[in-house]
Amino acid sequence: MNGDSRRCDGAPRANHPGTTCPRTRTRADRGKGGYRECCGAKDFGVGDALYLGFLFLDEDHYAYMVALTCRNPGCAKPRTGIVLPEKDFLS
Amino acid sequence: MRSKEHRVNGKPPCSLAYKVLAVHNFVDWRLRVGGRVERPVTLDLAALQALAEPEEQRVLHNCVQGWSSIGKWKGLPLARLADLVRPLPQARFVCFLTMQDTGRGEPSAEGEGQVYEVMDLELAYKPQTILAYGMNGKPLPIKHGAPLWLRVETQVGFKMAKWINQIEFIDDHRGIGYGLGGWREDNVHYDKDVEI
């Protein structure tokens, strides 16, 4: 985990450049719990994780949002995310 | 010199849309500026930052809550944005609309509706009034209002709206919210025209 590594340093982040996180990748591909409001494609690039717990009033303490970017070049809203508990993608 | 910590008031917007903006470093965030102006504009963060050389100010903030802190802020002078959109003669106030719509401006202040604040237009031209996107040498943190926090150092802290995504130049604020000039004015009975 590499906290405060990029913008918005009020919350720790975990960096997962590219598609190097297999468990997140699998979860995103299955579309479970994701936030995908545009084209319905299932091929995503996986980006940073943003810690949500404590910072947001409505989130569980162990919740993170993982950045997903749709690889469909025709997607009108490619940037999205998936909320995951820490245990599902941090080892 | 600056303080190690700056007290946080309020919690960020709970909407999924805000969280998605945040996890992607606000690439998709847009600031809409309109109302009683000649030239309404919509800006992304890079365009906003490119409008003018950033203004940096180091301020000792003494809060009525009983804490004080020295912070260094970096942002766009609001006057430069006004120069761009050119307020019409009818414009008398500036309304800052935020992405905070949970009806909760801070843990101790519960209310309802979208958080907003209104200030007199003349304050837009004070050199201490900036739209801050940086704090203490870093990008503005989420907990402090990312991507944009109004810093109007000639006024009290509650006027400094966080998580801004829309600015309207208006001639009358009585039709907004409960009409008292801000979310805290409407919900927790603060005074719009309180001064330091």
| Model pLDDT, residue B2 | 81
Mean pLDDT for the stretch of residues A82-91: 84
| Rounded Cα distance, B144 and A18, in Å | 29
Torsion of CA A17, A20, A23, A29, to 10 degrees: 80
**What's this model's pTM, rounded to 2 decimal places?**
0.86
Most confident of the ranges A33-42, A67-76, B31-40, B61-70: B31-40
Of A24-33, A63-72, B35-44, B57-66, which gets the smallest average pLDDT?
A24-33
- Which of B11, B20, B27 is the best mutation test for A, with the most CBs of A within 10 A? B20
Q: Give the chain B residue whose CA is nearest to the CA of A63.
A: B19
CA-based nearest distance B101→chain A, Å:
12
**Per the CB < 8 Å rule, is B19 touching A81?**
yes
| Model pLDDT, residue B107 | 57
* Span B135-144, pLDDT tens digits: 999 999 999 9
Burial class (CB in 10 A: 0-12, 13-18, 19+), B86: exposed
**Statement: residue A39 has pLDDT above 60:** yes
**Statement: residue A8 has pLDDT above 70:** no
**Per the CB < 8 Å rule, is B141 touching A8?**
yes
The alpha carbon of B73 is separated from its chain's Cα centroid by a whole number of angstroms, namely 13
Would you call B146 an interface residue with chain A, using a CB distance cutoff of 8 Å? yes
Ranges of residues in chain B with a pLDDT under 70 are: 102-109
ipTM > 0.90 (yes/no) = no
| Model pLDDT, residue B173 | 95
**Per the CB < 8 Å rule, is B23 touching A66?**
yes
- Which residues contact residue B69 at a Cβ distance below 8 angstroms, ignoring those fewer than 6 apart? B3, B5, B6, B7, B60, B61, B63
Would you call B74 an interface residue with chain A, using a CB distance cutoff of 8 Å? no
| Rounded Cα distance, A34 and B157, in Å | 37
| Model pLDDT, residue B191 | 84
Mean pLDDT of chain A: 71
The number of CA neighbours under 13 Å toward the Cβ of B4 is 0
Residue B109, SS3? strand
CA-based nearest distance B119→chain A, Å:
27
pLDDT band at A37 (very low <50, low <70, confident <90, very high): low
Please tell me which of the candidates A6, A35, A66 has its beta carbon nearest to residue B25.
Answer: A6
Number of cross-chain residue pairs from A and B with Cβ atoms under 8 Å apart: 68
pLDDT band at A35 (very low <50, low <70, confident <90, very high): low
